Amino acid sequence: MDDIIRVVGIAMVMTMILSLLRGAHTPLGVQLSIAVVISILLLLMAPLRELMHFFTELGRRSGMQGIYLDTVLRTIGIAYITAIGTQVAKDAGESGLAAVVELAGKVFILLAAVPVLGAILASLLNLLP
């Protein structure tokens, strides 16, 4: 409860300052918006770590193979970073850059999923006579 109030307060104050700064000095406005986004995400890291700890504990207790949960976690991380990059680029009006970052995220997620795809293929070949 405390943290969300802090985040919303920062966002409100920074929205006011940003609306002033974007008109007066655009490059510093863009930099300030990036800094705000990254600071809020850094604030979110501690709760996120607890959540991820819970999920890894759950996976460990269910006796799941490590490589599958590792792939899922890695994919979530890539998606998270890609979303940040895309949003920041779009915010600054660089939609071309945002599209490239999004494409890179898709490629790396697919690359991270290759071992799982291989395992699915292998089990399919086992099922076939």
Partner 1 sequence: MDITLIYRIAGVGIIVAILHIFLTQAGRQEQAQMLSLAGVLVVLLWLVQIIAQLFRNVEMVFRWW
Q: Which is nearer to partner 1, 75 or 102 (CB)?
A: 75
Smallest CA-to-CA distance from 30 within 111, 83, 91 is with 91
H-state helical runs in 62-94: 66-91
Q: Which is nearer to partner 1, 17 or 99 (CB)?
A: 17
Site residues for partner 1 per CB under 8 A? 6, 10, 14, 17, 20-21, 24-25, 27-29, 31-32, 34-36, 38-39, 41-43, 45, 48-49, 52, 56, 59, 66, 69-70, 73-74, 76-77, 80-81, 84
Residues 87 and 98: their CA atoms lie apart, in Å, by: 7
Q: Which is nearer to partner 1, 44 or 117 (CB)?
A: 44
Vertex 62, ends 61 and 64: CA angle to 5°? 110
